[in-house]
Structure 1
Amino acid sequence: MFSKEKVAYWAKRLEVPADEDARYKTDIWCNRDLIPIPKERRTWGIWGYCGYWTVSGSCVSAWTIGSTMLSYGLNAQQAMACVAVGGVITGLLAIGCGWMGEVHHIGFTVSSRFSYGMRGAYIPVIIRSFTACMWAGLQLFWCGQSIKALIGAIIPGFEDGALQNLFSETSQLAKNDFIGFVIALIAFGFLILVPPEKMQKPFIASFTTFVGTMFGMLIWAVHTNHGSAGPLFKSAATTDQVGWGIMYGITAMIGSWGAGCLGQSDWTRYANRRGAPTLSQLIFAPIFITVTALIGVVVTSCTVEILDLETIIWNPIDLLPVIQQYYGNSSGARAAVFFASIGLVLSQLAITVVLNSVSCGMDMAGLAPRWINIRRGGYIMIVVGVLSQPWTLVATAQRFLTVLSGFGIFMAPFTGVMLADYLVVRKRKLKLNDLYVGDSSSIYWYSNGFNWRGFVAFGLGTVWLFPGLIATGGGYNIPIGWLRLFNLTFILGTVFSFVAFLIINYVSPPPGLGEEGPFYLDGDDDYATKRDLKADSRDEESATDEKLAETDVTEVPVLRD
């Protein structure tokens, strides 16, 4: 049944496809989704990246970020200041992390190889893949909750009827939750079929509908509350350590988008020219995040008075069904909830692609390039996300969610090491071909495929944050200093690992510094460069043909004897 011949046969049949005129070898280090993106696949311009950040910045996570700020004892005005400052820092961080994507057209999966070694890169890739799978399951479950609200607007009994019952006493999954989740999985399964270079139009649809949802809820909330912004904007700060609260708030803001910034090169490698992502990262990222957070605080604050809530409802996915019930399931309320839910559904699908699907697909492709590409990795991510039973985590394991959020203690050192290595130590010079060679002839092979410098710096950026993570997950009492370190996770983790990596490489420089070269394999010319030259030649021929076609025949000189 499992003969060597059958295994070899299916292993060959399941290999990922390569380009028709490929000049690269699909092997354990390389496939179509891992090579430097050739010019014909670089389809993202300035407005495409603006669309990216409208999706990443205008989402449910940005809507609810104010709840985190207020939990630190800040008032609404101070919370909004933290969001604005954190948004600007997030934009700068995205520029730094996405630089190698713009220049060399490689993503985090491949770039990890020059920091941690060809084999050592598996470790950060596995950690990021695990985190992405868990978050993808949760994001898709919340997408299912949005679909449940949408269906509940059409069929009011769907929310509060027999379908609200659990499958069993121990399942913790209601029937209507299950239906919404399954529909979300099917929709996302089709979305994975769209390659990253053609994702602009789905992003535009997501942004347009979510903006409609945001401003629709804002207008309703302020109008119904007689122009008042609600009690949250009248409350004073509840902490006597406002300085620490502001630092925690800014760090929480950066940490919420830190994993996305770490993987910026996964998207900037599709840029059609240098600088295309910069405008969106520097301007649109802080604007959209801040505006969305502000609307979230205003709507939440107004609904406390409008609906006379005992418990503040921050999540708009949970808020819409409550609004519908407040109006007695009237036709007008149901129509409003229906259209508002569409924006939330599309936003959840898009944000899962932005932060999880593409990056996780690339990471899994890096683990087994011969058999996994971005698309297959996305489907594996869905399977792992479902097996994690996100409905159980949401229902009973708030502490687990806290710990999962605490995985920023790994993402931050990864960020610090990458920025220090690429921008400072290597001064943006890479020998691209050696990133796909798995033996000692590669300058990134180091010692048996591992670069100890990256791991030591990573450890020094992480070790100080572990006590806070353990205490948060297990309820242990520890000195306040450790908790403060943990609450500043992303800033301190990034800075500690950045400085440690610089010192280590100053004392013990890695081999190959200053060397750079193009991407080629098997003795062939630079594949990416050849494809670019062909594309440029086609562009020039097309432009010449168009110019001749526009020329008036009467203006063409006639040669006579």
Structure 2
Amino acid sequence: MMSKYLSLQYHPYTTKPTKSCIIPSILTTRLTIHKKSSLSTFYGGCSASSIRPMASIEPIRSTHLDENEADPALINDDLKPTTLSQRTFSGWEMASLWIGLVVGVPAYYLAGSLADLGMAWWQGIATVMAANLVLLVPLILTGEPGARYGISFPVLARSSFGIRGAHIPALLRALVGCGWYGIETWIGGQAIFLLLPHSIKHSSLANVLPWLGTSPLEFSCFMVFWLAQLSIVWKGMEGIRVLEKYSAPILIVLTSCLLIWAYVNAGGFGHMLTLTSNLSSSQFWALFFPSLTANISFWATLALNIPDFTRYAKSQKDQIIGQAGLPIFMGAFTFVGLAVTSSTKVIFGRVISNPIQLLGEIGGFTTIILAIVGISLATITTNIAANVVAPANALVNLSPSKFTFWKGALLTALLGIAFQPWRLLKSSESFVYTWLVGYSALMGPIGGIILADYYIIQKMKLNINDLYTLKKEGSYYYTGGYNLAAMMALTVGIVPVMPGLLQKLGILSSVPNLFITIYNNAWFFSFFAAGIFYWIIRSLLSGKDSEPIDPLLAAPN
């Protein structure tokens, strides 16, 4: 009879159960230590220190997954919480991940685009650093549950959006990832194009086909690089970890070589950094805020699915140390990008913000070979880590019985082609204002809702078993598997941004200035609007929410 008051709890980082003894509070009134010791004998040998009154405890939230109780539609090997043996990412390896992510053509192009749009080099660096320091906060906060519970982003989203509702944020994140995958692959294809003989690059195959938007030759190079990446993706997360770890120092060396070249040919930093702003004060601030949003948006995707990586971290300390690498490495690489871009004004007489075009201008066999190695390595490390993992996991979460990580990655790669990335990169304005700022309206509200739910509503306590069940009494089943409060908050975050986006796309000729301001600050607006709205709604409904009752509390006396 008394065994009903004994429970086994699992710590998320161990597999050894610890005994906790719970007794009716009436039996512990005015008990001395001696009497507790007597009771410990009666209650199965529990020590006095482990006996707690029933009335003083909270319902137990499981931190250990019982796979036998998990619904087959919600679990497979890729969705299970990571085990101790799988948690191999040290702080340096997490930081190396960021080196591999940061050192790439899009990050360089983003920095160069700020100069291209009229900013001085120091204004560009300040904008990038400010954005990444802001982003570091949600990055660490979102990474915490991944390291604590060993769960991926789609599984974490179940706690706030509902077991079925989690498909919505996961697929929105996946959609953006597919677009980025296409962009990065196009850049890698351009590196191959750079290697081709001059005669081929100027043949009829290099003529642009209007219906395709690019030339057959460039599209072929794109597809070659597309196929090359799949061999690494096939090896899964361990292959990605090894790639990032050993690529980081190579990328640092190659980036340094580019900076040294610019330093020598421009005649030192004094000449390299002579590019001044051609913007008035009002023009600068009009450019600053959408540029800040664009820079936040640049990594806002990864700030959402960072649990996909932190779940492999050895500890919270390792994931935090690793995340701190973002503003450091991004700031350093931005300096390189802006310094080299500024130097092109001195060396070539015009600003060249695209590094592939710059390498083509430099010429020389050695330069081309190093360019191919550097661009290919930088592109692959960024593309696979940032743009394959999240979409693949989202598709696995959608249908664990049909999708594996590999199948999800393959579909991601196919959708990357459909985005026609050569059109997204046709100008600095389309890249910064249309692509980056536009999708931040999707990423911002999802992040705001998840963080508000995990830290304010759930108070960092998740029931792991309920994340893998479709039972109606589960903590995260909500209404038919959907958390309607999260759906409403998502709408509140996205809808006000849409008029500005439609105007930017040319679908609407004009909109009120209020909507343009909201669009230029899309991530900030959507993040806080959705997060605060969700918090208010859940707080108002907190008295009506039904928490699953721990069977121990319902045990008869």
State TM-score, norm by structure 2.
0.80
Distance between the aligned counterparts of 1:211 and 1:163, measured in 2?
35
Determine if the alignment matches structure 1 residue 267 to structure 2 residue 299: no
Query: Contact 1:144 / 1:177 at 8 angstroms: preserved in 2?
Result: yes
Paired letter, 2:265: T
Deviation at 1:275, TM superposition (A): 1.8
Query: Contact 2:130 / 2:292 at 8 angstroms: preserved in 1?
Result: yes
1:89-139 CA-partner distances (Å, limit 9, x unpaired) = 222221011111010111111111111111212222222222222221221
Determine if the alignment matches structure 1 residue 221 to structure 2 residue 262: yes
Deviation at 1:143, TM superposition (A): 1.0
1:174-207 CA-partner distances (Å, limit 9, x unpaired) = 2431332222122111011122134222113432
Map 1:316-465 onto structure 2 (within 5 A).
316-324=355-363, 333-391=364-422, 394=425, 403-405=434-436, 406-465=438-497
Distance between the aligned counterparts of 1:394 and 1:86, measured in 2?
22
Query: Contact 1:64 / 1:293 at 8 angstroms: preserved in 2?
Result: no
Distance between the aligned counterparts of 2:549 and 2:331, measured in 1?
42
Distance between the aligned counterparts of 2:254 and 2:216, measured in 1?
26
Alpha-carbon spacing, 1:72–1:239, altered in 2? closer, same or farther (3 Å): farther
SS of equivalent to 1:275 = helix
Query: Contact 1:393 / 1:401 at 8 angstroms: preserved in 2?
Result: no
SS of equivalent to 2:353 = coil
Farther-moved stretch of structure 1 (365-374 vs 21-30): 21-30
1:234-290 CA-partner distances (Å, limit 9, x unpaired) = 4235032244544333322211111111111111011122321101212x1111101
Distance between the aligned counterparts of 2:549 and 2:291, measured in 1?
41
SS of equivalent to 1:236 = coil
Alpha-carbon spacing, 1:468–1:210, altered in 2? closer, same or farther (3 Å): same
Q: Which residue matches 1:107?
A: 152
Distance between the aligned counterparts of 1:515 and 1:42, measured in 2?
32
1:425-480 CA-partner distances (Å, limit 9, x unpaired) = 11100011111111303121111111111111112222221221111112622233
Farther-moved stretch of structure 1 (69-78 vs 101-110): 69-78
Alpha-carbon spacing, 1:470–1:339, altered in 2? closer, same or farther (3 Å): same
Determine if the alignment matches structure 1 residue 497 to structure 2 residue 497: no
Paired letter, 2:132: G
Query: Contact 1:53 / 1:285 at 8 angstroms: preserved in 2?
Result: yes
Distance between the aligned counterparts of 2:475 and 2:148, measured in 1?
20
SS of equivalent to 1:250 = helix
Deviation at 1:394, TM superposition (A): 4.6
Farther-moved stretch of structure 1 (57-66 vs 442-451): 57-66
Q: Which residue matches 2:498?
A: 466
Q: How many residues get paired?
A: 482
Distance between the aligned counterparts of 1:409 and 1:419, measured in 2?
16
Q: Which residue matches 2:322?
A: 280
Query: Contact 2:193 / 2:221 at 8 angstroms: preserved in 1?
Result: yes
Q: Which residue matches 2:28?
A: none
SS of equivalent to 2:505 = helix
Query: Which structure 1 segments of 5+ residues have no match?
Result: 1-20, 325-332, 518-561
Alpha-carbon spacing, 1:398–1:81, altered in 2? closer, same or farther (3 Å): closer
Query: Contact 1:213 / 1:344 at 8 angstroms: preserved in 2?
Result: no
Query: Contact 2:121 / 2:342 at 8 angstroms: preserved in 1?
Result: no
Calculate the aligned-residue CA RMSD, in Å: 2.7
Determine if the alignment matches structure 1 residue 140 to structure 2 residue 179: no
Distance between the aligned counterparts of 1:399 and 1:227, measured in 2?
33
Paired letter, 1:387: A
Distance between the aligned counterparts of 2:269 and 2:132, measured in 1?
26
SS of equivalent to 1:370 = coil
Query: Contact 2:290 / 2:433 at 8 angstroms: preserved in 1?
Result: no
Q: Which residue matches 2:78?
A: 33
Query: Contact 2:395 / 2:408 at 8 angstroms: preserved in 1?
Result: yes
Paired letter, 1:100: P
1:349-375 CA-partner distances (Å, limit 9, x unpaired) = 111112110111000001111010211
SS of equivalent to 2:317 = coil
Distance between the aligned counterparts of 1:66 and 1:514, measured in 2?
50
Of 495, 500, 511, the match for 2:545: 511
1:517-553 CA-partner distances (Å, limit 9, x unpaired) = 9xxxxxxxxxxxxxxxxxxxxxxxxxxxxxxxxxxxx
Paired letter, 1:136: Y
Map 1:120-131 onto structure 2 (within 5 A).
120-131=165-176
Determine if the alignment matches structure 1 residue 301 to structure 2 residue 342: yes
Determine if the alignment matches structure 1 residue 75 to structure 2 residue 109: no
1:17-63 CA-partner distances (Å, limit 9, x unpaired) = xxxx9767672211111111112211111111011111122222221
Query: Contact 2:448 / 2:530 at 8 angstroms: preserved in 1?
Result: yes
Distance between the aligned counterparts of 2:307 and 2:98, measured in 1?
14
Distance between the aligned counterparts of 1:218 and 1:516, measured in 2?
62
Give % identity: 25
Deviation at 1:418, TM superposition (A): 0.6
Alpha-carbon spacing, 1:235–1:387, altered in 2? closer, same or farther (3 Å): closer
Deviation at 1:513, TM superposition (A): 5.9
Determine if the alignment matches structure 1 residue 184 to structure 2 residue 184: no
Determine if the alignment matches structure 1 residue 314 to structure 2 residue 353: yes
Q: Which residue matches 1:523?
A: none
Query: Contact 1:98 / 1:268 at 8 angstroms: preserved in 2?
Result: yes
Deviation at 1:496, TM superposition (A): 1.4
State TM-score, norm by structure 1.
0.80
Distance between the aligned counterparts of 2:354 and 2:422, measured in 1?
16
Distance between the aligned counterparts of 2:205 and 2:550, measured in 1?
61
